Amino acid sequence: MAEFFSAPAFVLWGAPTSWSEVIAAGLALAMVGCNLREIHWGWPLAILSSLLYVGVFTQARIYGDASLQVFFAVIAGWGWYQWLRGRRADGRSLEVTRLSRRGAGYALLACAVAWPAVALFLRRFTDTDVPWWDGFATGVSLVGQFLLGRKYIENWLAWIAVNLVSIGLFIHKALWLTVGLYAVFVLLSVAGYLAWRQRLHRQQRLVSL
């Protein structure tokens, strides 16, 4: 089974694309589609995709993203529970909402701290040749995943930033299928933000009636 996942499915621009990368990309696309529509089944798809990407990124020496996929697989269980059973502080079930001004400040601060912390760790303890790019994608993704789990609309803005940086990172690593996947992710993240903003406006109109 391991040999199948590591075997090349095809070659893109001279670089072999493994079956692991093909399957992980397909699962990730389905996951984002579910997230966009607030369908909770996106979380188990996230677990499967993340576990496959651990191997893909480790082989490419993108250790921050490889470690991040392990975190994603774990936090996806938390996110799944949040979407099924999570509550706001006032006891209401989770629905799409915006961060408060203070919450947005905390989110930006978390990104500002996580990026250099992860980058310096990767530079010191791994042989990665892209610690700062990898560190940005990893650090900001941690914040984005928390915001997604709690249905804050700003999660899509975090993913837009992560996906744009990741495109450059994966071009450098010749992971061409994943480059295409993350280009689609940028578009889906924009679509997700617009869809959640529309849903948020609809919720606000219902409350005002």
- The ranges assigned to domains in the chain are 17-86+101-208
Do 119 and 134 form a contact (C-beta atoms < 8 A)?
Answer: yes
pLDDT band at residue 128, thresholds of 50, 70 and 90? Answer: confident
Percent of the chain whose pLDDT exceeds 70: 90
Q: If DSSP codes are grouped into helix, strand and coil, which group holds residue 57? A: helix
- Quote the pLDDT of residue 19: 79
Q: Which tens digits make up the pLDDT trace of 71-117? A: 888 888 999 999 998 888 777 888 899 999 999 999 999 999 999 99
Mean predicted lDDT score pLDDT of the chain: 86
**Two tokens at 169?**
């990172």
With contact defined as beta carbons under 8 Å apart, do 168 and 175 qualify? no
Closest CA to 17 of 179, 128, 184: 179
Q: CA 53, CA 66: separation in Å to the nearest integer? A: 7
Query: Can you give the C-alpha Rg of the chain in angstroms?
Result: 17
CB 78 within 8 A of CB 43: no
pLDDT of residue 126: 78
Bridge partner residues of 12 (DSSP): 15
Q: Whose CA is closest to 114, among 135, 91, 89? A: 135
Cβ burial, residue 201 (10 Å; 0-12/13-18/19+): exposed
What do you get for the CA distance between the two ends of the chain, in Å?
57
Q: Quick one: pLDDT at residue 7? A: 60
Task: Inform me whether the pLDDT recorded for 5 exceeds 60.
Answer: no
| pLDDT of the residue at 59 | 79
177, 23 Cβ separation under 8 angstroms = no
Q: H/E element holding 17?
A: strand 15-18
Run of H or E residues at 10? strand 8-12
Average pLDDT (162-177) is 88
Cα 61 to Cα 52: distance, rounded to the nearest angstrom? 15
> What is the rounded average pLDDT of the residues 14-33?
83
Q: Are residues 62 and 44 in contact, defined by beta-carbon separation less than 8 angstroms?
A: no
Question: Exposure string (b/e) for 51-63, b if CB count within 10 Å is 16 or more?
Answer: bbbbbbbeebebb
Per-residue pLDDT at 191 exceeds 90? yes
Residue 10 has pLDDT above 60, yes or no: no
Q: For residue 27, give the amino acid letter.
A: L
